[in-house]
Amino acid sequence: MDFLGGGQNLVTEDVTVVEGDVATISCRVKNSDDSVIQLLNPNRQTIYFRDFRPLKDSRFQLVNFSNSELRVSLTNVSVSDEGRYFCQLYTDPPQEIYTTITVLVPPRNLIIDIQKEIAVEGEEIELNCTAMASRPATTIRWFKGNKELRGKSEVEQWSDMYTVTSQLLLRVGREDDGIPVICLVDHPAVKDLQIQRYLEVMYKPEVRVSKNYPVQGLTREGEPLELSCSVFGKPQPTDMRWLRVDDEMPQHVVLSGTNLLISNLNKTDNGTYRCEASNVVGKSYEDYMLFVYDPPTTLPPPTTTTTTTTTTTIPTTIADTTATTEPAVHGFTQLPNSAEELDYGDLSDSRAGEEGSIRTVDHAVIGGVVAVVVFAMLCLLIILGRYFARHKGTYFTHEAKGADDAADADTAIINAEGGQNNSEEKKEYFI
């Protein structure tokens, strides 16, 4: 909008319109004095004089006429309608003001072209997006999924129209397979105009080996092992196999589809097992390293009862010290001869059951047994000491045995055991 010839009393606004839409031109008078208002086109031909239309173009229609406003609409606007339109007020001196109509043209066509319909993982492909015959020139934006990418654009002008071509170089991976690449047009005449193409990427197989059994823990001798192989690729791999690296596959291994099964592990199964798959793109594999551990060790049957019996019977047996102590140290299942002695048949069965696991007996148990044996030997020494002390006392009092019941000393000597004999022995005979 601009003023010509001192047109401060006239008011109008510039108009921007999309091709094919309706443009409305308004000429307004701020301080009306009943002067005549007229509207002229860019060629300065009168469109309306007051409420009369001299111009024969029926696309112009009167919307409103009064002493203070002349409003006219223009339907089906084209690029040729673009330019300056003049509002005139017949005063002394005359006043004039102009408004500019700008016509926007959205792209006539939007085309996306991809260099290769099917790409291979790791390749760089070229995509081109073209927006034809727009006004003004469009801005093209690229997206891969939700991520915006940077392209390189070129603009060509044909008469009053512009054609824009944007180039995108993209290195594709397996994660791009099935992802849309979007060409989006940024233009004031149009919203959300876009075109997209889905990427198709081929890639070599992806191999994953998982252990089905045992789910957790170590692989031990005598236990089963089951491995499963999962394979993905594009195109889908047609060749999948199990093999043992640097060695032959054991004969007892069972292969069932994608699974490998060993029902009874042993040390000869140690090694690296490989699941291998291939397609037209390439070959992939994943290894599983097998190490077979020893079978789990188990403690012998509870021996609490046997140990308790040994402890309670040793102090009451003194006849044969060798028989009492020696078996307790080596076998620690034999007991001394007594009324509480266990049956030798049961002890033999117990020893037979313990021979396979005697190496795993806890050191604390061995220490306990040694302590019991030492205690038994101490008890034995005490009992032997008391025994010898008792016999020594009997020897010293033997001569006076039976004297406790005598009334006096003479009678005690006579009643003492052997006392008469001693008297008789002391008699002397003189011839």
pLDDT value at residue 238: 87
Residue 195 confidence (pLDDT) above 70: yes
How far does Cα 54 stand from its chain's mean position? 80
Q: Read off φ and ψ for residue 429, nearest 5 degrees.
A: -115, 125
Question: Mean pLDDT, the chain, as a whole number?
Answer: 80
Listed in order, the ranges of the chain carrying CATH 2.60.40.10 are: 10-104, 109-192, 203-290
Residue 21 confidence (pLDDT) above 60: yes
pLDDT value at residue 406: 54
Is the CATH number of domain 10-104 2.60.40.10? yes
Taking residues 129-138, report their average pLDDT.
96
Q: How far is CA 175 from CA 97, 187, 230, 233, 365, in A?
A: 61, 32, 18, 11, 62
pLDDT value at residue 309: 36
User: Would you say the pTM of this structure is higher than 0.85?
Assistant: no
pLDDT value at residue 91: 85
Using pLDDT thresholds of 50, 70 and 90, give the confidence band for residue 9. confident
Percent of the chain residues past pLDDT 90, beyond the cut: 61
pLDDT value at residue 187: 96
pLDDT value at residue 307: 39
Give the CA-trace dihedral at 410, 411, 413, 416, to 10 degrees.
180
pLDDT value at residue 410: 58
Using pLDDT thresholds of 50, 70 and 90, give the confidence band for residue 386. confident
pLDDT value at residue 33: 80
Structural domain 203-290, CATH architecture: Sandwich (2.60)
Residue 394 confidence (pLDDT) above 60: no
Q: Which tens digit of pLDDT belongs to each residue from 203-260?
A: 999 999 999 999 888 999 999 999 999 999 999 998 999 999 999 999 999 999 999 9
Using pLDDT thresholds of 50, 70 and 90, give the confidence band for residue 397. very low
Taking residues 114-125, report their average pLDDT.
94
Q: Are 246 and 272 in contact (CB under 8 A)?
A: yes
Give burial (CB, 10 Å; 0-12/13-18/19+) of 304: exposed
Taking residues 172-176, report their average pLDDT.
95
Residue 27 confidence (pLDDT) above 60: yes
pLDDT value at residue 96: 93
Q: Which tens digit of pLDDT belongs to each residue from 58-108?
A: 999 999 999 899 999 999 999 999 999 999 998 888 899 999 999 999 998
Q: Are 379 and 386 in contact (CB under 8 A)?
A: no
pLDDT value at residue 160: 87
pLDDT value at residue 299: 59
The CATH number for 109-192, chosen from 1.10.10.10, 2.60.40.10, 3.40.50.1100, 3.30.1490.20, is: 2.60.40.10
Compare 172 and 394 and report the one with higher pLDDT.
172
Residue 118 confidence (pLDDT) above 70: yes
Residue 261 confidence (pLDDT) above 90: yes
